[in-house]
């Protein structure tokens, strides 16, 4: 038996707070980095904000009791004055683990009541484009290659070009960071793009992609039954078990041509 050093993925809590009304929206276990993107993506996917102008400022909390020291595990979000929103659906988020998020605690009915639109477009991609995505994801996972302990969410165009990638111990957090990046740079909706996530595709993953307008969602592992139901109802092409030159197509076959 030999001892040696190893690199581990960092996991720390992040509290997302509103400044006014002062309230904690969620506490999630995440990998530090891109915390503002994570907060923005989370707020957008939950319908609290709809445009970049809805967020006035995002900052780390400053502790007045410790000489103004910044607390990097607390993010304060200041929304624009007069913005109205419903915080009741966020009660299920009070504590979110990096492992499973809130899978199974939301419902299709909630999305119907929020008026989420069905994704309708004539987008088509070839199977060859889909086949090319996992290798690009693996090559771009810088931290995963060192630690082996992170999930990733990646954004591609319809030609299969990798546009951006985010990593986190939680796959939901990785997707929030990816969507938050697009939100803060005013690139939403992502209606001509493809998202690939490592691991499985849950209801929560599909909900976040639906809110971002993503028409094609791919995963290297299996979808849940509720994820498939969401994809079928809201017009998302859902691909699972994407490995090598094989994949399973669960919904939205019309977008895969050739």
Of residues 164, 166, 131, 167, the one with CA closest to residue 149:
167
- 2 token code pair: 């030999």
| Active-site option among 100, 103, 209, 218 | 100
Q: What are phi and psi of 196, to 5 degrees?
A: -120, 130
Contact 47, 85 (CB under 8 A): yes
Give the H or E element holding residue 237. Answer: strand 237-243
Neighbours of 138 (CB within 10 A): 14
Q: Is 218 a catalytic residue?
A: no
Beta strands in 127-201 (DSSP E): 151-157, 162-168, 193-197
| Alpha-carbon span 22 to 82, nearest angstrom | 15
Report helix angle 171-184 to 203-212, nearest 10. Answer: 10
DSSP secondary-structure letter at 95? S
| Alpha-carbon span 73 to 175, nearest angstrom | 19
The residues that are catalytic are: 100
């Amino acid at each position: 038996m030999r001892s040696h050093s190893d690199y581990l993925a960092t996991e720390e809590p992040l509290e997302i707070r509103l400044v006014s009304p002062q309230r904690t929206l969620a506490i999630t276990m995440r990998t530090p980095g891109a915390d503002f993107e994570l907060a923005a993506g989370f707020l957008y996917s939950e319908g609290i904000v709809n445009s970049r102008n809805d967020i006035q400022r995002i900052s780390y909390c400053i502790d007045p009791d410790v000489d103004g020291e910044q607390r990097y595990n607390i993010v304060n979000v200041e929304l624009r004055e007069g913005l109205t929103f419903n915080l009741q659906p966020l009660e299920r988020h009070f504590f979110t683990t990096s492992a499973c998020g809130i899978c199974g605690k939301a419902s299709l009915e909630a999305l119907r009541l929020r008026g989420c639109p069905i994704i309708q477009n004539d987008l088509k991609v070839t199977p060859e484009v889909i086949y090319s995505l996992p290798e690009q994801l693996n090559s771009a996972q810088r931290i995963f290659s060192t630690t082996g302990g992170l999930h990733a969410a990646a954004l591609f165009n319809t030609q299969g070009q990798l546009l951006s990638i985010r990593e986190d111990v939680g796959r939901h957090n990785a997707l929030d960071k990816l969507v938050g990046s697009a939100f803060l740079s005013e690139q939403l909706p992502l209606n001509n793009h493809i998202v690939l996530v490592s691991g499985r595709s849950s209801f929560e993953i599909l909900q976040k992609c639906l809110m971002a307008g993503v028409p094609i969602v791919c995963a290297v592992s299996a979808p849940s039954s509720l994820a498939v139901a969401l994809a079928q109802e809201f017009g998302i092409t859902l691909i699972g078990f994407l490995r090598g030159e094989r994949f399973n197509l669960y919904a939205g076959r019309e977008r895969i041509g050739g």
